[in-house]
Chain A
C-alpha cells in the first residue's frame, strides 16, 4: 500500500456561510460517519460531566449568570461610549486602535501592519474571529505564512481540516488520525498515538517558531474600557508565548467583547472556564495593557471588528446574541450538535449559538436553514452563562426567514404557501372549517390504512409522511359528538 493511500484526509467542510450547503444537506454525510459521531459524542460527554460537577459546587451560579447578563446588556446599550473609552485608554497605554467595518476591511488593516513590519510569517493564538474573517487563506495568498499554535488548531492546519467546535476545534479527530497527520507533516517516524507523545511533538515543533517569529496575531476574550486592557484565556501556554516573545502583537476583537471595568472580570472569569472546559479556572489567563517597556511586544495593535455585529444591536430581542462569551456550553448540551458535529452548520460558529449568530452576521442573506436546526428543547438556554434565550431568538429568526421566503417571487404558487393561505381562510370561518372537516374525512378515507394511520401523503404532504405517519381523521368530530350527546340526553 502506498503512503498516499494511508493519508488521513480530514473531512473537507465548507464553513463560509455564503457557499455552504443548507443544514439538512450538510448534516447527511456526518450522520453516516459513525467514527466522527463517536468522536464528537465522547468529547462532549467528558466536558459535560466536568462542567456539571463544577457548576453544582458553585452556590451562587445563578447570581453570577444574572450579573453577567446585566453587565453585558449594559455594555451593549452603551456600546459606542465604551468602545471610545477603550480606544482612548489603550492608545494612552501605547497601543494603536483600528476599526474594521467588515471582514475585508479587517484583513486589509492586518496585512498593512504586517507589510509595515516586513513580516513574512506570523504565529497565531486560536481565534474564532480570525476564522470568521477567513484570515489565514488571505494571508497565505499574500505571501505571509501563518502558524497556528493551539494544539487543536495545529492538528487542523496540518491536516487541512476545519474547526467543528469553538473551544475544542478538533474534537471530531481521534488520536490515530492526529498521529498520522503529525508523523507525515512533521516528519517523525515511529510516533506513538498516545496523547502525551503527540502533545510533546507539537511542543517541539513550535518551540523554535515561538523564539524566532517576531509577529503574532491573537483574538481577545475581553477588552477593558476602564484601563484599555486586553484579556486572553487559554490552557496550553501557547497564548502566553505569542503575547510575550514577539516584537509586534496584533489583536483582532469583535466590538461586543468590551467590558466596562477591570472588576467585571470577577464575574466573567468565574463563569467562562467552568462553562467551557469544566475547570474552576483555565491554566492561564493573561491581561496586558498597551505596551509595557521591557516586557513583551513593544508594538501593539487592536483591530475592532464590526462585520455585521452592529446590525444585531438594532433588534431588541436579538441583541442578547452579542452577550456571548464563546464558552460552547450550548453546543456541548445540544442534542442536534451531538448528532451532527460542527461542520453541518456551515460556519465557524456551530451549535445553538451558531444557529442564531451566523444568520444574523450574514443579515439573513445566507444561512437561512440554521434557525431550523434545533428541536427548541431549551437545554442551551439553561446552560448559557450569560443567559441568552436562544430558543426565543431561533423562533424569531424562523419567522423572519419564512417572511423573507414568502415574499420571494415564484413562491406564491408554492404548494406549501398555497396550503397555508387556504388554511388561514378556513380556520377563520367556522362554517368553512366544518365543511373542510367533512371533505377531509371523505378525501382521507382513501389514504388511511386499516390500522387507522396514513403512511404516505401526496404532494407537499409527503414531506410529513417521509419521516412519520399521520393519524387518520376520526369518524366523528368533537363538535358532532357533543351535539349527539346533548340530543341523547334529552
Chain B
C-alpha cells in the first residue's frame, strides 16, 4: 500500500496528536454530541414584540436597507402585484414554476422558469417570488428555493426582485427562523401558501434546507471609500409585499 500517508491521514493525524492530552478533547462523536448539548446559549431566542410591532420592525428595517415595501390584505394581493409591476415600467418577468397563477398579472410577458438558460433570465426585466421566512430584527428575507421561490439564479440575474411575504412568515429574531426550519423542513410550509394544510410536501418534514439564501436589502458595496453603493451584481431593486394574512407565527406574542 501507500508508503506515504495520504494528506487526509496526515491532517487528521496532526489534529489528533495536537489534541492528545487535552483535558476536554472528547474521544468519540457521541461524547462530542453530549458536550455540545451542554454549551451555554444565553442569548435572546424569542422576540418580545407584539405581532403588529414585529411586522412594523420588519418593514422599517427593510426600508433602512433600501428595499421598497408595500403592505396589503390577502384579497388585494393580485391587484397589488399588478400595480407594482406597472409602476416599475418593466415588461418581461421571470416566475418560479410553483408561483400561484393569481400572481401572474395580465398584460406582462411571463417566463416560467423550467430550466431557462441564464441568457434568457438575464434578458428579463424582473422576477417575482415567494419566500420561506422574514426576519424582522435584521430586515432579512430567507429563500429556501422551493417551487414558489425558484432556483437561485432567477433572483440573481434580473435587476428587479419582487418578493411576497405573508405576515405569518415574519419572525422577530434569527433564532426563531432556525426553529421554523427544524419544525417545517424544507418545502412544506411554503408550498402550502394558497392552500393551507394541503400543500404538497416534497421533502420530509424536519429535514434541514440544502439551499438557503438570506437576503438583506439589494446588492451593495462599500469598497470605494466606504461609500455605500446600491446594486453591484445582484438585483439593484428589492421590492417586498407584506400580506397581512392575520395568521400568527409560532414565535410571536399576541
Write out the residue numbers on chain B whose beta carbons fall within 8 Å of the beta carbon of A211. Answer: 118-119, 122
Query: Is B29 in contact with A85, judged by CB distance below 8 angstroms?
Result: yes
With A262-B181, A263-B182 in contact, do A174 and B225 touch (Cβ < 8 Å)? yes
> Could you tell me which residues of chain A, from 150 to 199, have a CB within 8 Å of some CB in chain B?
150-152, 155, 168, 170-171, 174-175, 178, 195-196, 198-199
Query: Which of B70-78, B81-89, B205-213, B240-248 has 4 or more CB atoms under 8 Å from chain A?
Result: B205-213
The one of B15, B138, B209 that contacts A80, using a Cβ cutoff of 8 Å: B15
Query: Is B222 in contact with A277, judged by CB distance below 8 angstroms?
Result: yes
Query: Which of A16-24, A56-64, A339-347, A476-484 has 4 or more CB atoms under 8 Å from chain B?
Result: A56-64
With A101-B7, A203-B232 in contact, do A237 and B156 touch (Cβ < 8 Å)? yes
A290 nearest CB neighbor, chain B only: B210
With A60-B44, A237-B232, A238-B232 in contact, do A74 and B15 touch (Cβ < 8 Å)? no
Query: Is B226 in contact with A306, judged by CB distance below 8 angstroms?
Result: no
Write out the residue numbers on chain B whose beta carbons fall within 8 Å of the beta carbon of A285. Answer: 212-214
> Could you tell me which residues of chain B, from 139 to 195, have a CB within 8 Å of some CB in chain A?
139-140, 145, 151-153, 156, 174-175, 177-178, 181-182
Query: Is B11 in contact with A283, judged by CB distance below 8 angstroms?
Result: no
Q: How far is the CA of A450 from the CA of B126 in the complex (A)?
A: 80
Q: How far is the CA of A263 from the CA of B224 in the complex (A)?
A: 34
Number of B residues with CB within 8 Å of any CB on chain A: 75
Q: How far is the CA of A78 from the CA of B227 in the complex (A)?
A: 42
Write out the residue numbers on chain A whose beta carbons fall within 8 Å of the beta carbon of B152. Answer: 240, 243-244, 286, 295-296
Q: With an 8 A cutoff between CB atoms, is A289 at the interface?
A: yes
Query: Is B223 in contact with A151, judged by CB distance below 8 angstroms?
Result: yes
Q: How far is the CA of A208 from the CA of B178 in the complex (A)?
A: 36
> Could you tell me which residues of chain B, from 10 to 45, have a CB within 8 Å of some CB in chain A?
10-12, 14-19, 22, 24-26, 28-29, 32, 35-36, 39-44
Q: With an 8 A cutoff between CB atoms, is A390 at the interface?
A: no
B25 nearest CB neighbor, chain A only: A77
Write out the residue numbers on chain B whose beta carbons fall within 8 Å of the beta carbon of A286. Answer: 152, 212-214
Write out the residue numbers on chain B whose beta carbons fall within 8 Å of the beta carbon of A26. Answer: none
> Could you tell me which residues of chain A, from 197 to 229, have a CB within 8 Å of some CB in chain B?
198-199, 202-203, 206-207, 210-211, 226-227, 229
Query: Is A77 in contact with B11, judged by CB distance below 8 angstroms?
Result: no
Query: Is B42 in contact with A237, judged by CB distance below 8 angstroms?
Result: no
Query: Is B225 in contact with A195, judged by CB distance below 8 angstroms?
Result: yes
Number of A residues with CB within 8 Å of any CB on chain B: 96
Write out the residue numbers on chain A whose beta carbons fall within 8 Å of the beta carbon of B43. Answer: 60, 63-64, 67, 267, 270
Query: Is A288 in contact with B39, judged by CB distance below 8 angstroms?
Result: no
Chain B 80-111 per-residue mask, 1 if CB under 8 angstroms from chain A, else 0:
00000000000000000000000000000000
A308 nearest CB neighbor, chain B only: B14
Min CB distance B159 to A, Å, is 10
Min CB distance B177 to A, Å, is 8
Q: With an 8 A cutoff between CB atoms, is A43 at the interface?
A: yes
Q: How far is the CA of A129 from the CA of B202 in the complex (A)?
A: 38
Query: Is B36 in contact with A260, judged by CB distance below 8 angstroms?
Result: yes
Min CB distance B3 to A, Å, is 16
Min CB distance A332 to B, Å, is 11
Write out the residue numbers on chain A whose beta carbons fall within 8 Å of the beta carbon of B222. Answer: 46, 168, 235, 277
A296 nearest CB neighbor, chain B only: B152
> Could you tell me which residues of chain A, from 274 to 330, have a CB within 8 Å of some CB in chain B?
277, 279-290, 292, 294-296, 304, 306, 310-311, 313-314, 316
Q: With an 8 A cutoff between CB atoms, is A419 at the interface?
A: no
Q: With an 8 A cutoff between CB atoms, is A401 at the interface?
A: no
Interface residue ranges, B against A (CB under 8 Å):
6-8, 10-12, 14-19, 22, 24-26, 28-29, 32, 35-36, 39-44, 61, 65, 115, 118-119, 122, 135, 137-140, 145, 151-153, 156, 174-175, 177-178, 181-182, 208-227, 229, 231-235
Q: Which 7 A-B pairs rank lowest in CB-CB distance, beginning with the nearest?
A: A237-B234, A237-B233, A236-B232, A310-B14, A313-B18, A280-B138, A314-B18
A-B residue pairs in contact (CB < 8 Å), sample of 11: A60-B43, A67-B43, A78-B35, A84-B12, A175-B225, A235-B220, A262-B208, A263-B178, A281-B138, A281-B140, A283-B65
